Amino acid sequence: MNRAVRFQLALGLVVSLTGATGLAQAPGEAVYKSKCQMCHGATGTADTPTAKVLKVKPVSDPEIQKLTDKQMFDSTRNGKGKMQPFKDKLTDQQIMDSVTYYRKLK
């Protein structure tokens, strides 16, 4: 009986750890989803109503692709055009993580 209980506890631990890592988000994903997705779209395609009104370009657009990480970081931090600045809402690390996540959406 003792061995069966230990086995069940070990199995439960493995299952719970697997579930926790399976649900983990990439760095920047949570920030992107909460702050950026409404304009840039869930997959970076700029297919939201807000994106259409503001004429947001998709991540795949050549003009967006040619931007450096620094340029994207600066635009996010300080705002650009109709995009609001996020310097008072996000840390520099959160901004960089969201830029990295956004880049992977292409």
Report DSSP letters for 11-67, one per residue. Answer: HHHHHHHHHHHHTPPPTTHHHIIIIIHHHH-TTSS--SHHHHHHTPPPTTSHHHHTS
Domain ranges of the chain: 26-103
Predicted model pTM: 0.75
Residue in the structure block whose two tokens are 């949570």: 30
Domain covering 26-103, topology: Cytochrome Bc1 Complex; Chain D, domain 2 (1.10.760)
Instruction: Give per-residue pLDDT as tens, 57-88.
Output: 999 999 999 999 999 999 999 999 999 999 99
CA distance 10 to 84: 49
How many CB atoms neighbour CB 96 within 10 A?
A: 20
pLDDT for the residue 81: 93
Instruction: Give per-residue pLDDT as tens, 15-74.
Output: 555 444 446 788 899 999 999 999 999 999 999 999 999 999 999 999 999 999 999 999
